Structure 1
Amino acid sequence: MTSNTRVVVIGAGLAGVRLARRLGELGTSVTLVGDEEHRPYNRVLLAEVLAGRYSPEVIALPAPAELTRGRVAGIDREVRAVHLADGSEIAYDTLVLATGSNPVLPPLRGLFTPDHVLPEGVHAFRTMDDCLGLSKAVRPGVKAVVIGGGLLGVSAARALAMRGAQVVLAQQSERLMERQLDPAASKLVRRHLVDLGVEVHTDLRVRDVRCVGGAVRSVEMADGYALDADLVVLACGVHPRAGLAKAAGLDVRKGIVVDDELRTSDPHIRAIGDCAQHDGTVYGLAAPALEQADILAELLAGNATARYTGTRALTRLTLAGEGFFDLAVFGETEARPGDDVVQLADATRGTYRKVVVRDDRLVGGVLVGELGTVGALARAWEGAEPLPDDGPLLHLLTNDGGS
C-alpha cells in the first residue's frame, strides 16, 4: 500500500484505536472517526469505573493523532466517501468498519417513554456515558435491579454493590453466565455476589418497567411479583452494530461478513471487532478484536501473506478490590463421551478448576478463584500440543505460581 493511500476507520473503540496505532507505527496515516465525545477508552474496564476503582482517565486508550469526532450518516461506495451527520464527507481508498456493538434492549412494557428514550433511572451499560450516568445515580441504599446475568450483568451488579446499592440481579435462565460456565462454576459466581449483598434470582423473567412521572419506580416479573427500583440496568447482551454496512448494501448476517483478509463483500471495505463475522463467528470479545486489528494492519501495510484464521478466545473476568474474584473460561468446557475431565474444588477458598482433555490434548477449562494457573493452562490449550506423559496436568491445576 502506498503511503498516500487514504485509510479511514469508523469506530474509536479497542479495535479501531489498535488498528490506527499499528498502521501509524508501520508508516501509514489513518483518519479515525469516533462518535463519542470522550477520549477513546477500554470498554472492558467500564465496570471498574462504575465500582469507583478507576477514574475514566485510567481506562483511556492512547489516542492516535488524527481523531475526527462525528456521527457517520452513510457510506457512498460509488465515490468512496463517508458522509457525516454534520454534512461533511471524508474520502477513502480503504474503509475499515470497527463500529462495535449495541446493547440488546429487551422487549419490556414501559421500557421507553412516548418519545422513545429510556425513562429516568433506566440505563444500558455499554458506553462511558452509560457508566457516568449510573455513577451519578448510584449512592448507598439506592434500590438497583440488574436485568441479565451474563458477564456484563454480573460485573454491573458487583460494581453497584461495591458502591453501596441494594442490588437485585434478575436472570431469565436457570443459572448465571450459563453461556460460559458449568453449574459448579456458576454457583461460585452466585455465592460471590451473594456475599457482597446482591440478591440473585434465576429463572425469573422481567415483564414490565413501571414509571411514575417519567422515572422508574418498580420492575414487574412475569409471575406478577414486583421489585422496587430506583435504578434499572439493562445487561441483556449485545448485537453487532452493522446498520451502516447494511444500508451500504454489504453482506450482513449475524455481523458484517468478512473473509480471511477481513474484507467485506466490497473489496475496498474491511471490518474488524465486534461488528465483524468471520467464518460464521461473531466473537464480541477483546482478544479477537485486537488480533484482527493487528493482522489488518499488516495487510494494509503491504504484507500480502497475512491472514486471519480465527481466534481461540479466552474469556477472563478479574474483579479486584473487596472480595477479589477471578474467572477464566476457554475452549470446550462440556465433555464429550471418551473425554477425560479433571475437577478440583475448594469450598473454603471458593475456588473451582475443571479441565477437559481429549486425545491427550487440553480442549477447554473453567477456572474460578484466585488464579495463578491461567497462563500455563491457556498456553497448553492454545498450543494444542499433546500433554507430556509425566502427569503435569494436576501440577498445572494446583500450582498457584505466576501466570
Structure 2
Amino acid sequence: MSTRIVVVGGGTAGVRLAQRLPVTLLGEEPHAPYNRVLLADVLAGRYEPEVIALPAPQEPVRRGVRAVRIDRAARVVECEDGTAVGYDRLVLATGSNPVLPPLRGLRGTRLPVGVHPFRTLDDCLELRAAVRPGVRAVVIGGGLLGVSAARALAALGAEVVLTQQGERLMERQLDAQSSALLREHVESLGVEVHTECRVSGLRQTDGAVTAVELADGFVLDAQVVVLACGVRPRVGLARDAGLEVRTGIVVDDELRTSDPYIHAIGDCAEHAGRVYGLAGPALEQADALADLLLAEATAPPVVGIRSAGAERVGTTDGALAGASAPCASVPTTAGPPAGPSAPRTSVPTTAEPEAPRPTYTGTRALTRLTLSGPVALDLAAFGDATPLPGDDVVQLTDATRRAYRKVVVRGDRLVGGVLLGDLAAVGTLARAWEGDEALPDDAPLLHLLTHDGGS
C-alpha cells in the first residue's frame, strides 16, 4: 500500500489496525503496546507486564512520541519531540483519560502522594509498588474498573474499602439481583463495600493523602486512594484541529471525521451518537477501517464520461491517494477530433461495477469479567437487562452454586441478559443477541438459559 497512513495512539484499536496494515504508529507510552483489559491482573501480581503485550504490528511502533498538533492543510502531525510526520490518511486512536472527580483536595491534574488513577500500565506499576499487606486503600467508583481494582488490591493484602455513589455495583451492566450477588462475592474477598455513598474530599498531610471524606461526614482512613470514576474520550488533539467533537470525535459509517482525510476509532470515537469505551467495539472499528482502506487501495479506477476532445478520469476515492499520490490514467479510444462547429458528443466508457464499500454499523458489546479469589466468579452482561412493559423475562437463580441467569425478550428478539456464576449458555445467547436473530417460535424461553442455549 503506497498510501501513507499515520495512526496516533498505541492502544487496542491503533495496534489492531497496525497489525493489518503497514502504518506509522505513534505511541505516547514508553512501553510496548499492551492489553489494557488485563491491567488488574498485573496489579494483583498474577501477570508480569510483558505477559500482557499485544502481538507486534507490521511496522515498529514509535514509542514515547506524543502528537501535539495536526496541520490539516499540510497533512502533517507535529510531535512534542519536534518531529513532524506527513500523512495521506490519519487515524486518531487516542483512547480516553480517567475522570478526576471534583473533590476537595484535588486541584488540576497534580495528585497528592498516594492518589492514583487506574488507566495505564504506569498507573498499575506505581500502585503495585505502593501497596503492601495491611495498607488501607480506598477505591472511589464501583463500576467495572473499580470492582476490578478492589479485587486486585485485596489480592495484594491491602485493607480495601470500595465506595460507590450509585445504589449498586456495576449498575450500568447488572440488575439489582446480580449486583447483590456480585457484592457478596466482593465482600467475601475482604473488601468493605459502601453504596449510595458520595465522596466529597481528601485529607492530606505534607502532600500525602491520609483520609477520604464522605458527604455524610464519615471519614475513611486511607494511605492509598484509587480513582476509578470512569473515563472520558481523549479529544483535545481533534478539537484543536477543528474536527467535529461532541462527547467523542464524531465519525460516520466509514469512521471518517469531519475531515475526509482523518478517521477515528476506539474509545475516542463517537459513532451514531455513541461512545463505547470497550475493547470489543475498538477491535471491530479497527477491522472495519482496515477493510475499508484495503478495499480503496485495491479498487479499480472509476472512469468518468469522456467528451470528444477532452478526458476525465477519476479514482474510487481521491482522498486515499492523497495530494502526493500520482493520478491514475486510463487509456480510451476516440474518433477524429471534432471541429469547431461540430456538436460535442459524450462517449461512455465501461468499468467494472463497484463492490459495496465496507462500513461500520455499530457494535453490540458484551461485558465479561472474572473475579478471582478463593472461589472465582464469572459474569457476563449484554444489552438491556431492564424489562419494559410487555417484555418476557426468564430468570433462574441457584443459591447453592451462587449462579444467576436472566434474559429479556421483546417480541421475538433477545434484547439483553445477565449471567453470573455460570456462563455455559453465554456463547449461544451472545450470538443470538449480536445477530439480532428472531427466536424460534417453538422453543420454550426457558431453553435460552440451559447450558446449550437451547440449541
Task: Indicate whether the TM-score tops 0.5.
Answer: yes
> 2:451: which partner in 1?
399
Matching residue's letter, 2:92: L
Show the 5 A alignment for 1:122-201. 122-201=115-194
Within the candidate set 250, 253, 258, 1:257 is matched to: 250
Contact 1:143 1:166 in 2 (8 A): yes
Residue 60 of structure 2 corresponds to residue 66 of structure 1: yes
> 2:72: which partner in 1?
77
Rg (Cα) greater in structure:
2
Write the distance in 1 (CA, Å) between the matches of 2:56 and 2:209: 37
Determine helix, strand or coil for the equivalent of 1:353.
Answer: strand
Contact 2:414 2:432 in 1 (8 A): yes
Within the candidate set 17, 35, 49, 2:15 is matched to: 17
Structure 1 residue 400 displacement after superposition:
7.2
Deviation digits for residues 249-301 of structure 1, max 9, x if unmatched?
00000100000000000000000000000000000011110000001001111
Determine helix, strand or coil for the equivalent of 2:78.
Answer: strand
Deviation digits for residues 345-370 of structure 1, max 9, x if unmatched?
11221111110011122111011113
Determine helix, strand or coil for the equivalent of 1:356.
Answer: strand
Contact 2:203 2:213 in 1 (8 A): yes
Write the distance in 2 (CA, Å) between the matches of 1:75 and 1:346: 56
Residue 409 of structure 2 corresponds to residue 353 of structure 1: no
Unmatched tracts of structure 2, length 5 or more: 297-355
Unmatched tracts of structure 1, length 5 or more: 24-28
Contact 2:393 2:409 in 1 (8 A): yes
Matching residue's letter, 1:92: Y
Structure 1 residue 323 displacement after superposition:
2.5
Show the 5 A alignment for 1:3-402. 3-23=1-21, 29-64=22-57, 65-69=59-63, 70-112=65-107, 116-303=109-296, 305-320=357-372, 322-391=374-443, 393-399=445-451
> 2:299: which partner in 1?
none
Deviation digits for residues 350-400 of structure 1, max 9, x if unmatched?
111110011122111011113111101111212222222343542341317
Write the distance in 1 (CA, Å) between the matches of 2:233 and 2:188: 34
Write the distance in 2 (CA, Å) between the matches of 1:290 and 1:14: 7
Determine helix, strand or coil for the equivalent of 1:343.
Answer: strand
Determine helix, strand or coil for the equivalent of 1:302.
Answer: helix
Write the distance in 2 (CA, Å) between the matches of 1:318 and 1:19: 27
> 1:26: which partner in 2?
none
Write the distance in 1 (CA, Å) between the matches of 2:448 and 2:386: 20
Contact 1:371 1:400 in 2 (8 A): no
Q: Report percent identity of matched pairs.
A: 70
Structure 1 stretch displaced more, 341-350 or 392-401: 392-401
Structure 1 residue 184 displacement after superposition:
0.4
Structure 1 residue 321 displacement after superposition:
5.0
Contact 2:202 2:213 in 1 (8 A): yes
Contact 1:112 1:119 in 2 (8 A): no
Q: Aligned-residue CA RMSD in angstroms? A: 1.5
Contact 1:104 1:236 in 2 (8 A): yes
Write the distance in 1 (CA, Å) between the matches of 2:273 and 2:391: 26
Write the distance in 1 (CA, Å) between the matches of 2:52 and 2:94: 19
Write the distance in 1 (CA, Å) between the matches of 2:242 and 2:113: 37
Determine helix, strand or coil for the equivalent of 1:232.
Answer: strand
Structure 1 residue 92 displacement after superposition:
0.4
Contact 1:196 1:323 in 2 (8 A): no
